[in-house]
Structure 1
Amino acid sequence: MPIQNHIVPKQRKTIRLQEYAIGIFTGIVTKSALKKAIKKHLVFVDGKLASTATPIKGSETITLHEDTKAKTGRVFQKKLEVLFEDEYLAAIHKPAGLLVSGNSFKTVGNALEQNIAHSLMTDATKPRPVHRLDYPTTGVLLVGKTRSGILELNRLFEKKEIDKTYYAVAIGEMKKEGFINVPIDGKEALSHFKIIKSVLSDRFGLLNLVKLSPKTGRRHQLRKHMAHIGNPILGDADYGKAGLILKGKGLYLHAFSVEFTHPFSKENVKIKKELPIKFKKIFNTI
């Protein structure tokens, strides 16, 4: 049964459906979510079953059908710290040990309605995360509250107009500052790092508080890049060096801030979350 329709405005050039349709439907706010809907045969263009490569030129009607197999019922009750909120978007602090989204019941996405106020805008929708943080990573996570808000935040990410800053604890001697330009999964990946402070460690030799700025958004990018230069992030069980993996304390990677021009108010917005206590225990003067 059709649940949402979208009429495509005139396009300057033909574009593939998987590139065009991100954010046009409530709940389909990422490329992966769109691909899943298409794979489940829920998306049609002018009444015909669509594929990711279906060409979009303008004037087409894109229809999203109901997923009759989708799970319904329970609500995930989880208190989240809200760092910023207006009628269009919000930001929360993502705790460690929690998925942002996916098939799991216990996700940030399933807890947002309990923490984010319903928007009063005419295109209000269920709040949705517009990007990802790894399961063990903490920090600032952006959320869209309206269909236009979700679409605009996605566009800002695509244009690389959202500056993200992370802090990590990296193991071993390393350069004070530099770029890591190493492809991930065959795609360009670029990260900048800068040491803020270093302390001696009996077990690890040297621990560095490192400021990280990803210039691209590949999966596990910062973790893979730091491991590539021989300075894995403390607590990284996936990419750490044998014998130097700290257990029981989690991953020392924190999404400290995001900064961007608000797509509607046009004001500069900077949202940050201070470093976790476990960072401060290592670098006790920060």
Structure 2
Amino acid sequence: MNKPAGILVSGNSFKTIDNALEQNIVKSTLADATKPRPTHRLDYPTTGLLLIGKTSASILALNKLFENKKITKTYLAVTIGKMPVKGIISTIVDNKEALSKYNVIKSVASKRFSYLNLVKLKPETGRKHQLRVHLSSIGNPILGDAQYGLEDKIIKGKGLYLHAYSLDFIHPFTNKKMSLKKVPHKKFTKLFPAPLDYDFSV
């Protein structure tokens, strides 16, 4: 599914993706059908692909794939300030090693922010707020990040420019290669028109 911004995936709140799934997704017809459940997490302000399991076996299998890092996750973000074309960020996040890779797809000059960059991100680990913390740590926070952004460069009302763009994995039951993609919200395309023309494979 395509997760909207401003909603928790799961937790104690009533308004969560987890609670809404049963009323909005057709139940599986398989013998081990169960309540649909998210098999991983996205931050509250993050948009994009969220993988859902509808049977006990699929939820278990997908959880294991994520746990064993067999699912490649790619994000798109808009960052602030001039930055190298590509790089690897390695720091400690939540007292654990965290590693992220990035490639700048396109940069544009900006009066307010000096530069804005459309960036592809690949988290090699899954720490809390990892991509947001990592980009902030190199002086290129994500546009709209009120928590980790630069105090004089925070915009309001547009949300966080971070999108879970693709998931690539081998299907646990069919063994087919799955490559799922979701083009980001139009707020991205306003800054970087026609994103489908960009080479997201860099």
Segments of 4+ moved more than 2 angstroms: none
**Cα deviation 1:181-221 (Å, max 9, x = unaligned):** 11101111110000000001110000000000001111100
Is 2:117 the counterpart of 1:208?
yes
Partner SS state of residue 50, structure 2: strand
Q: 1:143 is matched with which residue: 52, 70, 76?
A: 52
The structural deviation recorded for 1:114 is 1.9
Which residue number in structure 2 is paired with residue 167 of structure 1?
76
Partner SS state of residue 271, structure 1: strand
The structural deviation recorded for 1:285 is 4.0
Matching of residues 195-234 of structure 1 within 5 Å? 195-234=104-143
The two structures have a TM-score, normalised by structure 1, of 0.67
Give the number of the structure with larger relative contact order, counting CA–CA contacts within 8 Å between residues 6 or more apart: 2
The structural deviation recorded for 1:115 is 2.0
AA partner of residue 14 (structure 2): F
Which residue number in structure 1 is paired with residue 200 of structure 2?
none
The structural deviation recorded for 1:270 is 1.1
2 CA distance for matches of 1:114 and 1:265?
27
Partner SS state of residue 131, structure 2: helix
Unaligned runs of at least 5 residues, structure 1 = 1-91
Unaligned runs of at least 5 residues, structure 2 = 196-202
Work out which of the two has the higher radius of gyration on C-alpha atoms and give 1 or 2: 1
Q: 1:128 is matched with which residue: 37, 49, 56?
A: 37
1 CA distance for matches of 2:179 and 2:20?
24
Pairwise CA RMSD: 0.8
Aligned pairs, number: 195
Which residue number in structure 1 is paired with residue 25 of structure 2?
116
Which residue number in structure 2 is paired with residue 177 of structure 1?
86
**Cα deviation 1:28-82 (Å, max 9, x = unaligned):** xxxxxxxxxxxxxxxxxxxxxxxxxxxxxxxxxxxxxxxxxxxxxxxxxxxxxxx
Is 2:63 the counterpart of 1:154?
yes
Partner SS state of residue 182, structure 1: strand
Taking every aligned residue pair, what percent have the same amino acid on both sides?
62
Q: 1:236 is matched with which residue: 132, 136, 145?
A: 145
The structural deviation recorded for 1:113 is 1.2
1 CA distance for matches of 2:181 and 2:22?
22
AA partner of residue 166 (structure 2): S
Q: 2:103 is matched with which residue: 176, 189, 194?
A: 194
2 CA distance for matches of 1:275 and 1:102?
25
The two structures have a TM-score, normalised by structure 2, of 0.95
Partner SS state of residue 92, structure 2: coil
1 CA distance for matches of 2:71 and 2:194?
29
Q: 2:163 is matched with which residue: 254, 267, 271?
A: 254
2 CA distance for matches of 1:276 and 1:153?
26
2 CA distance for matches of 1:169 and 1:106?
27
